Amino acid sequence: MSTVVDYDQLEGVSVQQAVAWASQQKCPVTLYLYDEGSGTTSEDHFRAVGNRF
């Protein structure tokens, strides 16, 4: 059985904390890093994300 994480978001963490979080996941993950205040909170980001379901 494989584990799929479609999306998760952390805010206000350091790169070191993000890498540690990713390393603890049960499946491979891709990290997208944004400067604070210019991340994924805008609706434009979510309109651009494909829906697999």
- Structure confidence by residue, pLDDT tens digits, 21-31: 999 988 888 88
Q: Does the structure show a pLDDT above 80 at 41? A: no
Contact (Cβ atoms closer than 8 angstroms) between residue 34 and residue 40: yes
pLDDT of residue 23: 93
* 33 pLDDT tier (thresholds 50, 70, 90): confident
Please report the DSSP string for 2-46 in residue order. Answer: ----------S--HHHHHHHHHTSSS--------TTSSS-SHHHH
pLDDT at 20 over 60: yes
Q: In the structure, what pLDDT confidence band is assigned to residue 35 with cuts at 50, 70 and 90?
A: confident
- Distance (Å, whole) CA 51 – CA 41: 17
Domain boundaries, the chain: 15-45
**46: Cβ–Cβ under 8 A, 6 or more apart, which residues?**
40
Identify the pLDDT of residue 53. 45
